[in-house]
Amino acid sequence: MIAVITQRQQVKMAFDKIKVTNPIVEMDGDEMTRVIWKSIKDKLILPFLDLDIKYFDLGLPNRDATDDRITVESAEATLKYNVAIKCATITPDEGRVKEFNLKNMWKSPNGTIRNILNGTVFREPIICKNIPRLVSGWTKPICIGRHAFGDQYRATDTVIQGPGKLKLVFVPDGNNEKTEFEVFKFKGAGGVALSMYNTDESIQAFAEASMNTAYLKKWPLYLSTKNTILKKYDGRFKDIFQEVYETKWKSKFEAAGIWYEHRLIDDMVAYALKSEGGYVWACKNYDGDVQSDFLAQGFGSLGLMTSVLVCPDGKTIEAEAAHGTVTRHYRVHQKGGETSTNSIASIFAWSRGLAHRAKLDGNVKLLDFTTKLEASCIGAVQSGKMTKDLALLIHGPRVSRSQFLNTEEFIDAVAEELRARLSVKAKL
């Protein structure tokens, strides 16, 4: 009997696993993204890579069981190994506390990790030619850098009951006299108050990361603030960015034909809408939170967005999906129903994390693999193989079942495309 070897088997036989010298940190997550995360590992990562994974289960039940210590440990491991790849996770509210019978309403794991790593989150669209953009003029990507430290996200806020004076007090170390500011005199029923901060060191690291990213991409850099209103607070961001630019980056930028410019946030939003893209936009923490979703939707979908946290050392990163845990799909999955969940952002979390590992290790084969993995995602979509959310953007609300793939079918399609791309080199 003659054995028939399929093309798929030939590709498998021709491909040897790529050895990844140093470990990566994996942070597992929740709900539907946890389901697709495992499928991505099993079908797109582990068959092709000999990889040492330091695994941390950041699923909400395990965060509760460990009193959220697991989140801190995963961030500490990231600082040790320099590369983390994170699945989307639940940030619990009152409803989730009841659903999971939690001991506490644990803080956002992303917030905890970002505060330990003290980095800048860079988000950038994944552009597929056949996916229509809401902002049609955006013909080039826009990379948004969110300063992931301080401001509203580490603020102290409170409800004020009744009349009285609100003061801001700074007590310096040593014997110097304290500095006191009267903020407001409440009358009547009271109101609300907020105190927030940032540090020169963190702002400087934000500036360095933003300028380094712009220089590597050879794109201009814009910083947006509201320094006309927050003259001291936002003015500090503006001054530090200008100082870092003048002392370290100006000559490099000019040689590369790019530039740095500060703009008011309202002016920058208006400019962004009428621009063609092709620049890095550095945002303060809250602005970056809001504008990154605005950009994602403008480019087509939150499911087509990369997200990488870059630490001040430029060596340590955490790559993640820019969306949530897709609870609605998970409820269907729990009941045994068919889902069509877009896994592209989660796949790109793996590709961007592994690409950074490749650059740190000088691993050319691994870098080539990550390039082909990303090309396989885009290639699948551009050949008409996509999940329902993307099919809706192309075909509208009357999209038929034949025009999209389910969750597993799409990952299988990417895997098939990846094997084909890898086999080309394997046959040479």
Smallest CA-to-CA distance from 71 within 39, 117, 121, 122 is with 117
Q: What are phi and psi of 21, to 5 degrees?
A: -65, -50
* Model confidence band, residue 280 (pLDDT cutoffs 50, 70, 90): very high
> What is the tens place of the pLDDT at every residue in 117-152?
888 999 999 999 999 988 989 999 999 999 988 899
Residue 119: per-residue pLDDT: 83
Lowest mean pLDDT among 89-103, 127-141, 233-247: 127-141
Q: Which residue has the higher pLDDT, 300 or 14?
A: 300
> What is the tens place of the pLDDT at every residue in 286-301?
999 999 989 988 998 8
Token pair of 42 as six digits: 């099993």
Q: What is the mean pLDDT of residues 106-115?
A: 90
Distance CA(389)–CA(302), nearest Å, equals 10
Residue 300: per-residue pLDDT: 83
Q: What is the mean pLDDT of residues 179-184?
A: 95
* Model confidence band, residue 242 (pLDDT cutoffs 50, 70, 90): very high
Average pLDDT along the chain = 93
DSSP element (H, E) containing 290? helix 285-299
Extract the annotated binding site for NADP(+).
89-91, 96, 274, 324-329, 342
> What is the tens place of the pLDDT at every residue in 356-399?
999 999 999 999 999 999 999 999 999 999 999 999 999 999 99
Q: What is the mean pLDDT of residues 336-347?
A: 97
Superfamily of domain 19-119+317-428: Isopropylmalate Dehydrogenase (3.40.718.10)
Residue 3: per-residue pLDDT: 44
Report whether pLDDT(99) > 90. yes
Q: Give the predicted TM-score (pTM) of the model.
A: 0.86
Distance CA(390)–CA(396), nearest Å, equals 10
Extract the annotated binding site.
89-91, 96, 108-114, 123, 146, 266, 274, 289, 324-329, 342
Extract the annotated binding site for Mn(2+).
266, 289
Contact in structure between 196 and 155 (CB atoms under 8 Å):
yes
Count of beta carbons in the 10 Å neighbourhood of residue 336: 6
* Model confidence band, residue 425 (pLDDT cutoffs 50, 70, 90): low
Task: Judge: domain 133-154+198-299, CATH 3.40.630.30.
Answer: no
Report whether pLDDT(2) > 80. no
Count of beta carbons in the 10 Å neighbourhood of residue 315: 13
Q: What is the number of helices (H) and of strands (E) in the chain?
A: 16, 16
Sheet strands (E) in 259-372? 260-264, 279-283, 305-310, 317-321
Q: What is the mean pLDDT of residues 102-113?
A: 93
Report whether pLDDT(312) > 90. no
Residue 428: per-residue pLDDT: 41
Q: Which residue has the higher pLDDT, 323 or 30?
A: 30
Residue 115: per-residue pLDDT: 83
- The reply to whether 19-119+317-428 and 133-154+198-299 are identical in fold is yes
Residue 5: per-residue pLDDT: 45
Smallest CA-to-CA distance from 232 within 203, 261, 272, 212 is with 203
Q: What is the mean pLDDT of residues 391-415?
A: 96
Extract the annotated binding site for D-threo-isocitrate.
91, 108-114, 123, 146
Smallest CA-to-CA distance from 222 within 266, 268, 257, 255 is with 268
* Model confidence band, residue 176 (pLDDT cutoffs 50, 70, 90): confident
Token pair of 242 as six digits: 């200008």
Report whether pLDDT(6) > 90. no
* Domain boundaries along the sequence of the chain: 19-119+317-428, 133-154+198-299, 156-195
Report whether pLDDT(11) > 60. no
Q: Which percentage of the chain shows pLDDT scores above 70? A: 96
> What is the tens place of the pLDDT at every residue in 18-50?
999 999 999 999 999 999 999 999 999 999 999
Bridge partner residues of 279 (DSSP): 142
DSSP designation for 232: T
